Structure formats: C-alpha cells, structure tokens
C-alpha cells in the first residue's frame, strides 16, 4: 500500500508540474502573439496608408485616359494594323537579334524602365514592339523542359533540337561525348553556313565571349559548351587533338574562319597561357601554344584581304569599315562588362558594334547574315540583379534601332527573339508610374512591402529575420548589384521554361505569326533569304525546272 501511495503522489506531482509548464508555455505564447499582433498592427497601418497614398486618383497620367481616349487609341491601332501587308520578296539580308534570357516579363519590365527615362512610362515602346509580326517560341530541348543557351542555339540557328550543354550537334551527341562529336553525321549546319554556301557574308556580335554558347551555335560542333579552349577539354580527360575546341573551330574551321565580322569578348581563349593579356595582368588559357588571334590575321592576309583586329573602343571607331574585308574585335579578357559598370572609353557599346558590323557586311552586294546577342541580360538574371538585366535589354533595344536606321524593310528581314526565359516576374499591383525597380505593394499577410521584381530562385533568397520576411524598405534598390528577392536559394538562378517572344519586320516576316518550335526559326529565315537545302522562296533544286503552261515552255526564274 505504501508503494502505491508513493506512486500516486509521484503521478500527482508530475501532473502539477505539467500544468505549471503548460501555463508558462501559454503565457509565453500569449506574449508572442501579443508581440506579433502589435507588429502586424503597425504593419497593417503602414499598408493602409501606402494603399491610400497610391490611389489611382493621385496618379499624374500623361493624358486623360477616359472612354474617349481608349476608343480613339483602339481605332488608331486598328487602322495601322489594316495597313500591314506581307512583303513577299527575297530577303537580301537577315539580322537576328538574340536577347539571352530575355523572357516576356523581361521585355515588359525593360519597356517600363525605358519609359521612366523618356517620361512616356507605360506608353513607351521597345523598337520591336512596332514590328508588324510576332510569335511565341517553344524552347524545350530533346532532353529537358527548360533550355540552356547551348541547346537552344542549335535550335534557332541550325534548325535541329539537341541536348543540354551541346552545340551544333543533334541528340546523338550527349554532353562531353568527344567521340560522338567527331562523327560528322551528327553535326548540324547553321544558317550562317547556308549563307556562306550561297556566296553571302556573315558576322556575329555579342557582349559575351565570342566562343560562348549563343555565338558558337553559328559555327561550332561541340559536345560541351565549356570546351571553349583546349585546356577545358584536357581537364575533362578528353582528347583535345581529336576534338577541336570552340575557339579553334572559329578561327581554323569552316564556317567560322569565313565570318567577315566577329566582335565581343574572350581574348583569354585565343592566347597561350604564357602570354599576358593586353589589358589585364592575366595570362591566356591555351596550353597548346597557339595564338589564334595571330592565326586569324595570317589567314586573312593569306587570302589577300584587308583585315583589322581591334581590342578597344578607340581602335574600333577608328577602323575604316568601308575598306575592311574582315573585322575581329575582342574587347575583354572574358565577357564584356555590364553597361552600368562599363568603361565607355575602352569598351564599345552594343549599338556601336552593331553599326560597325553592318558597315562591313554591307560591302557585300550579295547580302549578309548577322547575329547580334545581348548576352548579359542572362547574366544579370542569373545573379537576380534586375537592374543589370533590364539595362542590358534597353541597350539591345538601341542596337535594334541602329539596325533599322541602316537597312531597308524592303530587302532586310530583322528578327528579335530570345533563347530561353528566366524566373523574373512583375508582382503585386503597383500604381501607374511606379518605379519598376522599386517597391510594388504591401503584403496583406505580413503587411511588409515587397519589390515589383521578384525571382523564383537564385542568390537573392534571404533568410527570415526574427521569424519574419526581411523588410526591403531601407534597401538601396538602385544599387547596380542589388539582388531582388528570390523564393528558393541557389548560387545562380536557373532558367525558366516559358515560351519566349519573337518579333519580325521585313521580307517574309509574316512567316512568324503563331506558336512554333524553336527549330522552326532558321527554316523560315532560310526560306526568306533563298539559302540552304530546304524550301526557299526562290525555289530549290527540286523545283527549279522548266515547265509547260498552255502549250508554251516556261523557264524557271527566281521570284526575288
């Protein structure tokens, strides 16, 4: 009995202690809730004040936008659209602008940023917004729902979809498969080669290394996009003799060696590892001892052609483009600098490079193909640095304007598109004339503000502070290295699988009026320019035959 009594007493003591503990927990939780309620109360007041202050009644619109305004605007747009008619003739020239990672939200946000600077705000237009034809492009690859810049380049330049990380080869070549790379049956020729085969000139301009994924798609066949020079191949344990690296293919192989214009960054992959860079105190990357810049010059001089190699803005602007057959410009050791950080006395802008490229290529009366890449849009997004991505997009907009001013819609087809999307989005309900790089709204859950631009993943992710989402109120939102918040932490933001936009103007631009696979793009371009082995506007070997009509012999002739 005595043991039972002791056990009962112990149980009662435990119950009492549990009750005390639970009371303490309830008291502590009550204080926490009270603190949270006070926190949310203050935030709620700020939220209401913010929403009241951003009422549409207080927004200084550019013009009155009542019913009459929008009815007039709609009728004006309709009249303009009714005047649009296809230009059905051969495209002598094709200029393809590629915004790397330029998702549709990127275009919208960049338009707003441009509008902030011109005071046209939401009514602003990008150069390509005014193009008469547009389409959506599906970007998935043969092995992934979300593309990278390598596989997508194969699609929109070669007309064939391939695997992630590979360039200029079909799905039979997996990443880092050097032996498969050497099988010419798996190689995919680009539209640049089709132009060269037709006796026309070709060029490329980029803000990236000229051996990076996008430009490489126009001339290289490689099992790994990282194999830009021989040391990368060797470090992966592969044969750098059997597998030519991308820089070698650009300078020594067809069609790369025949490009009339090559401009961008990336000197390091062209020079030996015992040669110092002309601008930076760093050595080249090549272990094979080759100086491919010298090789490029020797090749062009051996052809009896006038060739110019430049590595800074001053030399580029001093180049006599009307007397230059070949132009090589390597303006950075690696990638070129962002517009917001660029030394403009040393590095040319994308519009300046575009102008020089067109001046050289226009010397060919047969026509030309030019690829222009705004590559740093993508790098800005990878870092969740919206201001860099958007300013690079606006700079590409200026380059498009240059191309429009130097060419005619009657003989030049200009296409603007992207290779893949990014996870950047435009969020909340920001009032009209709100800074696209600023705060959009307050959450109605935690009553804290959030930025208009947000990312799905990337280095902009921030750990909670005292259990709450970090408050961006006091952040320097216009710092060039400011990272907009991201939902999922990653060292570098991943791409997105959205369809991307395409805009076209000029001969046969009407071929882009729907939703297409990305590999459709070069087929349509080739048709317009009458190049390649597929269907063309001028006909091809299969259709170039004389025929009889109403008893009379008709001779085939090109329609352009």
Show which residues are catalytic.
149
- Phi/psi zone of residue 218: left (φ > 0), alpha (ψ -120 to 50 degrees), beta? alpha
CA end-to-end span of the chain, whole Å? Answer: 113
Within the chain, what is the greatest distance between any pair of CA atoms?
A: 128
Of 93, 24, 118, residue with least CA distance to 394: 118
* Antiparallel, parallel or unpaired: β 500-505 and 412-418: antiparallel
Tokens of 409: 């819609």
**Other Cβ atoms closer than 10 A to 98:** 26
Helix (H, G, I), strand (E, B) or coil at 539: coil
| Angstrom distance (rounded) from CA 196 to CA 175 | 28
| Angstrom distance (rounded) from CA 91 to CA 531 | 10
Of 342, 335, 345, residue with least CA distance to 395: 342
Of 173, 196, 195, residue with least CA distance to 184: 173
46 strand-pairing partners: none
Q: How far is CA 356 from the centre of its chain?
A: 22
| Angstrom distance (rounded) from CA 354 to CA 89 | 25
| Angstrom distance (rounded) from CA 251 to CA 270 | 9
Of 490, 377, 438, 483, residue with least CA distance to 126: 377
């Amino acid at each position: 009995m005595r043991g039972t009594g002791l056990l009962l007493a112990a149980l009662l003591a435990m119950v009492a202690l549990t009750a005390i503990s639970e009371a303490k927990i309830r008291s502590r939780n009550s204080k926490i809730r009270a603190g949270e309620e006070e926190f949310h109360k203050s935030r709620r007041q700020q939220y209401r004040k913010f929403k009241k202050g951003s009422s549409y009644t207080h927004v200084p619109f550019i013009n009155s936008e009542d019913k009459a305004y929008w009815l007039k605007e709609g009728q004006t747009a309709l009249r303009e659209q009714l005047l649009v008619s296809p230009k059905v003739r051969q495209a002598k020239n094709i200029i393809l602008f590629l915004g790397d990672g330029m998702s549709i939200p990127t275009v919208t946000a960049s338009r707003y940023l441009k509008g902030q600077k011109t005071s046209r705000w939401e009514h602003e237009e990008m150069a390509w917004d005014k193009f008469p034809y547009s389409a959506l492009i599906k970007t998935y690859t043969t092995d992934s729902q979300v593309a990278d810049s390598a596989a997508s380049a194969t699609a929109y330049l070669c007309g064939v979809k391939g695997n992630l990380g590979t360039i200029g080869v079909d799905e039979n070549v997996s990443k880092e498969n050097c032996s498969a790379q050497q099988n010419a049956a798996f190689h995919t020729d680009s539209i640049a080669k089709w132009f060269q085969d037709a006796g026309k000139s070709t060029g490329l301009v980029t803000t990236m290394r000229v051996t990076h994924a996008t430009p490489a798609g126009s001339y290289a066949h490689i099992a790994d996009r990282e194999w830009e020079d021989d040391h990368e191949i060797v470090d992966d344990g592969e044969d750098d003799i059997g597998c030519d690296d991308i820089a070698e293919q650009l300078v020594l192989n067809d069609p790369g060696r025949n490009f009339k214009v090559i401009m961008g960054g990336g000197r390091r992959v062209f020079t030996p590892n015992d040669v110092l860079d002309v601008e930076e105190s760093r050595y080249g990357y090549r272990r094979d001892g080759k100086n491919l810049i010298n090789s490029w010059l020797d090749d062009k001089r051996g052809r009896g052609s006038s060739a110019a190699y430049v590595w800074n803005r001053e030399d580029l602007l001093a180049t006599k483009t009307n007397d230059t057959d070949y132009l090589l410009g390597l303006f950075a050791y690696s990638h070129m600098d962002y517009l917001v950080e660029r030394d403009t006395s040393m590095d040319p802008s994308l519009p300046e490079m575009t102008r020089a490229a067109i001046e050289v290529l226009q010397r060919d009366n047969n026509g030309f193909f030019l690829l222009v890449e705004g590559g740093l849009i993508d790098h800005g997004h990878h870092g969740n640095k919206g201001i860099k991505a958007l300013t690079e997009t606006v700079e590409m907009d200026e380059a498009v304007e240059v191309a429009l001013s130097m060419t005619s819609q009657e003989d030049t087809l200009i296409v603007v598109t992207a290779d893949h999307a990014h996870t950047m989005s435009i969020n909340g309900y920001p009032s009209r004339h709100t800074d696209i790089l600023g705060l959009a709204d307050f959450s109605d859950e935690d009553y804290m503000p959030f930025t208009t631009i947000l990312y799905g993943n990337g280095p902009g992710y921030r750990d909670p502070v005292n259990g709450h989402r970090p408050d961006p109120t006091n952040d320097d939102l216009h710092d060039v290295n400011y990272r907009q918040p991201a939902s999922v932490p990653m060292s570098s933001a991943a791409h997105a699988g959205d369809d991307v936009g395409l805009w076209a103007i000029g001969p046969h631009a009407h071929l882009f009026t729907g939703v297409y696979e990305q590999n459709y793009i070069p087929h349509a371009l080739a048709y317009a320019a009458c190049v390649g082995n597929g269907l063309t506007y001028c006909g091809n070997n299969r259709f170039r035959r004389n025929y009889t009509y109403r008893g009379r012999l008709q001779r085939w002739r090109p329609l352009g």
